[in-house]
């Protein structure tokens, strides 16, 4: 199995006629993802290499039965795009857009919780999600991911860091470890989907036998995950936390990676996860090697 998306997921791309939307939307389709529609206001009735384009998400859903959306639009349009997808009944929304103001993220998150509780948002500012061999929504290169193999245990990946999402996938592929689903939750201060959401789904998925988690400095997501792991996760885990040498109070890379008030440090997160029984790697390669050892013992 896989979490959130699989081979039956039907995807529409909001912003398919734009440069990035077209590039990644077509790459997703080439991977085997069912990309059934694009949405760009004013360009309904056209197509992008055979993918029909509609003026609104509601029209696209009615015509194609799309149940997931890939949002690739500029920051000023992203909040409205997310809410339009939710209002149209799309159950899973992936937004890769970077640079959305934190107050807009908070407003949209709370509006989704209040008005559209059946819609799950992944992102924003994330690489997306890939269930190797089944579905790829976002900007992850499918060739770096190894699909689950018959008779061998497969693992799940959840990561805040975009680049380290790719490295985790590739490290496991080199070690011959298949992946059920890899979820890049993004590093912004208000993520639509967090570590606990993903850990809960992986724990319930019978095909996922172990979990690797990639975190980074800033916020309290990893500490909250550690508490959840203690209480609810029975599957073995390894993890890596980026930012060990980051100076306190300095923003590192993006809005979510800031240490303030003595909280959110890499060491604090590593200690919390280790206390929860997670094996901690001191670099991404070591975290992958630890997972390979875990898999050998399953």
Give the catalytic positions in this structure: 254
| Distance from the first to the final alpha carbon of the chain | 18
Contact, 238 vs 212, CB < 8 A? yes
Contact, 56 vs 78, CB < 8 A? no
Neighbours of 204 (CB within 10 A): 10
**Torsion sign across C-alpha atoms 60, 64, 68, 74:** negative
3-class SS at 211? strand
What residues pair up with 63 in beta bridges, in sequence order? none
Q: For residue 294, give the H/E element and its range.
A: helix 284-296
Give the Cα separation of 142 and 43 in Å (integer).
29
Read off the tokens for 146. 């190894």
Give the Cα separation of 162 and 181 in Å (integer).
15
Nearest to 84 by CA among 62, 116, 127: 116
């Amino acid at each position: 199995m896989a979490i959130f998306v699989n081979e039956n997921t039907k995807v529409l791309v909001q912003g398919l006629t734009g440069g990035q939307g077209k590039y990644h939307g077509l790459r997703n389709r080439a991977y085997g993802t069912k990309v059934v529609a694009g949405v760009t206001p004013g360009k309904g009735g056209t197509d992008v290499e055979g993918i029909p384009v509609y003026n609104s998400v509601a029209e696209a859903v009615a015509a194609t039965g799309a149940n997931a959306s890939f949002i690739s639009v500029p920051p000023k349009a992203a909040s409205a795009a997310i809410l339009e997808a939710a209002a149209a009944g799309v159950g899973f929304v992936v937004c890769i857009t970077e640079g959305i103001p934190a107050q807009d993220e908070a407003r949209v998150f709370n509006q989704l919780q209040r008005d559209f509780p059946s819609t799950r948002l992944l992102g924003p500012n994330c690489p997306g999600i890939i269930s190797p061999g089944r579905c790829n929504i976002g900007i992850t290169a499918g060739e770096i991911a190894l699909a689950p193999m018959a008779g061998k245990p497969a693992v799940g990946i959840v990561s805040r860091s975009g680049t380290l999402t790719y490295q985790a996938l590739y490290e496991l592929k080199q070690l011959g470890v298949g992946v059920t689903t890899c979820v890049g939750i993004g590093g912004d201060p208000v993520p639509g989907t967090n570590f606990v959401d993903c850990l809960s789904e992986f724990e319930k998925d019978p095909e996922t036998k172990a979990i690797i988690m990639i975190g980074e400095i800033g916020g309290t997501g990893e500490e909250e995950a550690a508490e959840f792991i203690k209480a609810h996760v029975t599957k073995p885990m390894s993890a890596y936390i980026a930012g060990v040498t980051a100076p306190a109070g300095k923003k590192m890379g993006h809005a979510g990676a800031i240490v303030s008030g003595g909280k959110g440090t890499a060491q604090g997160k590593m200690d919390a996860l280790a206390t929860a029984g997670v094996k901690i790697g001191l670099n991404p390669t070591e975290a992958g090697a630890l997972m390979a050892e875990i898999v050998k013992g399953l």
